[in-house]
Structure 1
Amino acid sequence: MPSFSATLEQAIHGALALANARRHELATLEHLLLALIDEPDAARVMQACNVELEELRKTLEDFIDDDLSTLITTVEGSEAVPTAAFQRVIQRAAIHVQSSGRNEVTGANVLVAIFAERESNAAYFLQ
């Protein structure tokens, strides 16, 4: 199985930290995409596709704060758990990298894998 780049690991941990900071019981694709804005490989791909990163950041922050408020937990000290979609995206990126003969998963691979989650708000925000 391929390994994750250091910056991707930071982004995944960052997504979980974003969810935990908002006391969300789940870490969603939107948390992941928000963290990927600061991941160099993913940011380069988004910029090459003419994505306005600060506009995307604002859209995601507003969505997370407003639309995901139902995910707030009252259980003290609980940690956010990645959603099934979050886990599928990470797994899909790893499988793609492995099948292409490479050995490191980057934020760019995860970004591409988000598009397969067609019904997600994260994929919608990228279009």
Structure 2
Amino acid sequence: MFDKNVEMVLLRAAREAQERAHEYLVLEHLLLAILENEEGAEVLENCGADIDELRKQIGRFLDTNIETFLNRGGVQPQQTLAFQRVLQRAILHVKYSSKDAVGVGDLLAAIFT
């Protein structure tokens, strides 16, 4: 259902949340992981985004607005409802466009719709 780039992005987002000791996996973790992906960064750059500035702003947001939990004991962060909805929208988009797998571009489209 997901191509290899998306699988890598999802793993990166989960790892980012876990490394920051966040209880929840939020859209900002996903967008930050997309920015770290070559395909995702290229798509956003082609839309006029300043990748470095986006990384800084998202990192700052995550540092200041998402509560951390110090004694989590390796518990995996839980996807928020918004995170799950983005995945569902991306899957539906691919299903109705007759594509085989969700790509990073599909994730971006789902985030911004």
Q: Tell me which interval the TM-score lies in, with the shorter structure as reference length.
A: over 0.9
3-state SS of paired residue (1:37): helix
Q: CA deviation at 1:17?
A: 0.3
Report the residue type matching 1:66 in the other structure: T
1:104 alignment partner in structure 2: 101
1:14 alignment partner in structure 2: 12
Report the residue type matching 2:93 in the other structure: H
1:23 and 1:72 in contact (8 A); partners too: yes
Q: Distance in 1 between matches of 2:80 and 2:108?
A: 16
CA RMSD of aligned residues (A): 1.2
- Count of matched residue pairs: 113
Query: What percentage of residue pairs aligned between the two structures are identical?
Result: 36
Report the residue type matching 2:58 in the other structure: L
Determine which of 56, 62, 65 is the counterpart of 2:63.
65
Q: CA deviation at 1:73?
A: 5.4
1:31-73 Cα offsets, whole Å, 9 max, x none, are 00000012233222201111010110000000001111x2435
Unaligned runs of 5+ in 1: 117-127
Where in structure 1 do 4 or more consecutive aligned residues deviate above 4 Å?
none
Unaligned runs of 5+ in 2: none
Compute the TM-score of the two structures, normalised by the length of structure 1.
Answer: 0.83
